[in-house]
Amino acid sequence: MSTSTTPVTTPAVSPLAQAHAELGASFTDFAGWSMPLRYASDLAEHKAVRTSAGLFDLSHMGEIRVTGPEAGRALDAALVGRPSAMAVGRAAYGMVVDHEGGIVDDLVTYRLGEEEFLVVANAANVEPVVVALADRARPFDAHVADETARWGLVAVQGPASVAIVTPLLESGPDLATLRYYRSVTAVLAGVEVLLARTGYTGEDGFEVFVPVERTREVWDALLAATREHGGVPAGLACRDTLRLEAGMPLYGHELSQDTTPFAAGLGRVVVLDKEPGAVGLEALQRLAQEPPTRVLVGLRGEGRRAPRAGYAVVSGGEAVGEVTSGALSPTLGHPVAMAYVDAALAEPGTRLGVDVRGTELPVEVVALPFYRRER
């Protein structure tokens, strides 16, 4: 008799794993990576980001470099946007879709030079994104390289971010002139980095791409400066509630290959008048003319009990949608959720219910985002 066992996969570790352990972090397996879930309190970390700053380790994200004389055209064919039209130093949110317009991943593309781009993918989707980009770039004079193992990524997010980062810059821009969704090469705490004014919390802040072997140096310098301004290290748990309050979708929840950019309310990033041949373009052109049957909306609840992913949204005793993310909002003090609901019921002000183990909780459709920072 023979037996077989399923091989145990050891999670990948961040270059900052030792730093997190020293800080007493609780770890979780996220997309095949062992990452800090929290250091002390989800609520305290969330509130620190909203009022001062939080320092995040995002080294699980994927970095894919696309270079060559036709790198821009290759990305035009691979993504839903038009990266070839981006100015050097700009960044753009976008997606990879399949031939039917389903979302393979949502990502951010940075233009680093006339013939050089950096595509940052979600950790769970690095492999399919690399495969898709390489396949779609094949007709062009462009090269696709997965550089995930070469980079650490840390983020300072919150209203104190500029005050935290500025004293550590030894060369680079006046941060007052570095606008949202821009990036620049800089020297920070003695290390050459790519400094981007991007983030996933709804707050001002910076994402810092660091050579992997020097990530700890940059983390330590940023952590000391963050603490000087009343900030804290922050884990993935609060990052999820922060992005939820900001109405930002999460792949695997609001986005998947079963959803399209239009159903997710992201049609604004889709360019439809591109050169023929872009993967999914014909499907997207068709879908743009066909209103989706279900669309993504915000839901505001009452009391303290929050809808959770997978709960049914109901109206008149009938299921009319499904919650994709939900939590008791630390900032707003009431339950919030995102859900796909029948398009006819998506108007803000519509009263619906969420079935929580047989109990119907009242909710109201509201516009996204739930939270918007003061500018």
Q: List per-residue pLDDT tens for the chain, 375 residues long.
A: 444 455 557 889 999 999 999 999 999 999 999 999 999 999 999 999 999 999 999 999 999 999 999 999 999 999 999 999 999 999 999 999 999 999 999 999 999 999 999 999 999 999 999 999 999 999 999 999 999 999 999 999 999 999 999 999 998 889 989 999 999 999 999 999 999 999 999 999 999 999 999 999 999 999 999 999 999 999 999 999 999 999 999 999 999 999 999 999 999 999 999 989 999 999 999 999 999 999 999 999 999 999 999 999 999 999 999 999 999 999 999 999 999 999 999 999 999 999 998 899 999 999 999 999 987
Q: Is 212 helix (H, G, I), strand (E, B) or coil?
A: helix
Alpha-carbon gap, residue 103 to 97, rounded angstroms: 4
Q: Is 41 helix (H, G, I), strand (E, B) or coil?
A: coil
Bond prior to 369 in cis (omega within 30° of 0): yes
Question: Which 8-state DSSP code applies to residue 200?
Answer: S
DSSP letters spanning 314-372: EETTEEEEEEEEEEE-TTTSSEEEEEEEEGGG-STT-EEEEEETTEEEEEEEEPSPS--
Alpha-carbon gap, residue 212 to 193, rounded angstroms: 11
Radius of gyration of the chain measured on its C-alpha atoms:
21
Q: Is 56 helix (H, G, I), strand (E, B) or coil?
A: strand
- Residues in contact with 204: Cβ distance below 8 Å, sequence separation at least 6, in sequence order: 157, 158, 159, 161, 162, 180, 197, 373
Alpha-carbon gap, residue 21 to 37, rounded angstroms: 12
Strand ranges across the sheet with 143-146: 91-97, 103-113, 116-121, 62-67, 143-146
Pairing of strands 33-38, 12-13: parallel
pTM: 0.95
Describe the crossing of helices 236-245 and 42-51 by its angle, rounded to 10 degrees. Answer: 50
Alpha-carbon gap, residue 337 to 358, rounded angstroms: 18
Judge residue 357's burial from the number of C-beta atoms within 10 Å of its C-beta, 0-12 exposed, 13-18 middle, 19 or more buried: exposed
- Residues in contact with 123: Cβ distance below 8 Å, sequence separation at least 6, in sequence order: 30, 31, 32, 33, 60, 61, 62
Task: Tell which residue, 190, 209, 34, has the closest CA to residue 118.
Answer: 209
Residue 288 · residue 270 · CB < 8 Å? yes
